[in-house]
Amino acid sequence: MAPKYNWAAAALAVNPDSISGGRFADELSVYVPSAVGLSADYQRRAALTELMVAVQSGGPAEDTYYVGKHGDDANSGRTIGAAFLTFGAAAAAAPDGATIACLDGGTYTEDVVIEGPNLLAPNANFVGTGADGTIALQLGKGSTINWFVIGTVKQVGNQTSRNYAVRLHGGDYQSLHITQLHLTGENLTGVLGLANGKVVIGELEMITAAGGNVMIGLDPRAPIDIEIGRITLTGITSGGEAWAIFANHGSTILTGHIGVYQDSLFAGQLGGLLRHSQLFVNLNIDYATSGGTTADIFLIDGGNCNIKAGFLSASTGDVYHLSSNQLRIFAMFSQGPHTHSGGALVARTLDADHVTTFADTEFPQCGGVLKAITGGTTTVTEFAGGVPGQKFELLFAHALTITYDINKIILDNSVDFVGAVGDTMTFVKFNSGVWQETARTVV
């Protein structure tokens, strides 16, 4: 069963009499016999935990093993009052299909392995040991159907063996919910091996380091649907490589939605939103901003990426690498030059105040351009790139000639135009791929 995340509404549906009014967490008054003797606040959290387990499991919280900071690994773990202290003890006791539930928001610095059971720890803070080649949370196993609800996971990478924050093993269906995922360093993967199912991450924060190794946010190995509220990718030094989503393992189907994507990388760092090969992608992104000195949205071999609004400000240029892809940016605002190679870049609207300076060449690149200025005196014989329906205005900062060609550039009166400094021309691209002049002004 896939998790339901509106626990307050779910609790009301399960037991409407449990809420007397006001804020849900403060007014919950369910009597939990196994929590008698604990503080009132802890009893409220214990009651909420039992309701959450019931909602997640689709039934009573009968086969549940509890973990809490008040616990002891010598306990049975079968009641709230007899909780284990560590997840390791709970994992050793709980059978496949059971639920391990954490009652509080404490920090757990242990490399946890939970194979068959489900995990409900929405307030827990898991901190990996950071030792070479370690996994903060190893979850699931083959042929199991599991769900995992986690508060915060933090992991540090290094330059030797790869570390992981969360690694999923096998499973016919897995559902993973993480409120916050924080990654720091290099040679580090946030979530590896997402199986058939869905992953929900509230915030993914990646702070990269130099050294030539790769930091990866998500590394799916099977069809997966993702929902991410915010991705922040920051480079603190030059060198290294960092990707929010890296799927290079063939025929993975990736779909989903990202609220906000932000990156700030530096010269010598390769990275960005998406890197994949032989991967079908259909992603919708509400807002993407790319800064620092390098920025890439890197797509290879199939798929589509839709960005509702993008602010692109890398000083060395934003490069869209596409092959058999389409990147649609419905509103793009750029402070720096932007180029793309292969595939199709569809920029429906662009920043009217941004002016692109063309290269001094016969074939200036027009992809994603709304307003351009000449870059030299070389005669222009073709406008390269662009998409049907795109329109741009050319401002003459130099005296140069635009040549008439019925298959490339159609000009008024079917003759070449010799422009002077201060002249302007407007062009639109038709479905045939030909650019046609629609207006000009002559000084």
Question: Looking at residue 404, which CATH number applies to its domain?
Answer: 2.60.120
- pLDDT band for 33, please (50, 70, 90 cuts): very low
pLDDT digits (tens, 9 = 90+) for 401-414: 999 999 999 999 99
Beta carbons within 8 Å of 181's beta carbon, 6+ residues apart: 152, 153, 165, 166, 190, 191, 201, 203, 204, 205, 217
41 located within any domain: no
Which two tokens mark 37? 């003797």
Least confident of 52-66, 245-259, 353-367, 372-386: 52-66
Task: Determine how many CB atoms are found less than 10 A away from the CB of residue 72.
Answer: 14
292 located within any domain: no
Task: Considering only the C-alpha atoms of the chain, give the largest distance between any 2 of them, rounded to a whole number of Å.
Answer: 93
CB 105, CB 132: distance < 8 Å: no
**Nearest CA among 184, 178, 95 for reference residue 144:** 95
pLDDT digits (tens, 9 = 90+) for 4-25: 334 343 343 334 333 333 333 3
Question: Is residue 394 over pLDDT 90?
Answer: yes
CA distance 184 to 165: 10
Sheet with 391-395: strands ordered across: 356-357, 371-373, 391-395, 424-429, 435-441, 409-410
Question: Is residue 124 over pLDDT 60?
Answer: yes
**Nearest CA among 308, 338, 306, 345 for reference residue 323:** 345
Beta carbons within 8 Å of 32's beta carbon, 6+ residues apart: 43, 46, 47, 50, 80
Mean pLDDT of the region 282-298 = 67
Question: Is residue 92 over pLDDT 90?
Answer: yes
pLDDT of residue 236: 67
CA distance 112 to 110: 6
The SS3 of residue 209 is coil
User: What residue numbers bound the domain in which 413 lies?
Assistant: 355-443
CA distance 400 to 423: 10
The SS3 of residue 44 is helix
70 located within any domain: no
Beta carbons within 8 Å of 243's beta carbon, 6+ residues apart: 214, 215, 216, 217, 271, 272, 273, 274, 275, 298
The SS3 of residue 103 is coil
pLDDT of residue 146: 82
CA distance 356 to 338: 9
**Nearest CA among 298, 296, 241 for reference residue 268:** 241
117 located within any domain: no
pLDDT of residue 55: 56
372 located within any domain: yes
CA distance 425 to 360: 17
Tell me 117's DSSP state: S
* Structural domains counted in the chain: 1
CA distance 212 to 432: 45
373 located within any domain: yes
Strand partners of residue 292: 265
CB 276, CB 253: distance < 8 Å: no
Q: State pTM to two decimals.
A: 0.69
Mean pLDDT of the region 123-142 = 88
Q: What percent of the chain has pLDDT over 90?
A: 26
435 located within any domain: yes
Calculate the CA 284 to chain-centre distance.
10
Backbone torsions φ then ψ of 313, nearest 5 degrees: -135, 20
pLDDT digits (tens, 9 = 90+) for 198-250: 888 999 999 887 666 788 898 887 777 888 988 988 876 666 778 888 876 65
Place of tokens 């050319």: 394
Helix (H) or strand (E) holding 47: helix 40-57
Which two tokens mark 81? 């009052």
Q: Which of 2-16, 299-313, 381-395 has the highest mean pLDDT?
A: 381-395
411 located within any domain: yes
Mean pLDDT of the region 89-104 = 89
CA distance 193 to 171: 10
320 or 269: which leads in pLDDT: 269
Question: Is residue 439 over pLDDT 90?
Answer: yes
CA distance 30 to 14: 12
Question: Is residue 436 over pLDDT 90?
Answer: yes
pLDDT digits (tens, 9 = 90+) for 333-346: 555 555 555 555 55
CB 231, CB 260: distance < 8 Å: yes
Output the CA torsion 167→170→172→175 (10° steps): -10
Beta strands in 323-370 (DSSP E): 326-329, 332-334, 338-341, 344-347, 356-357
State the chain's mean pLDDT as an integer.
75
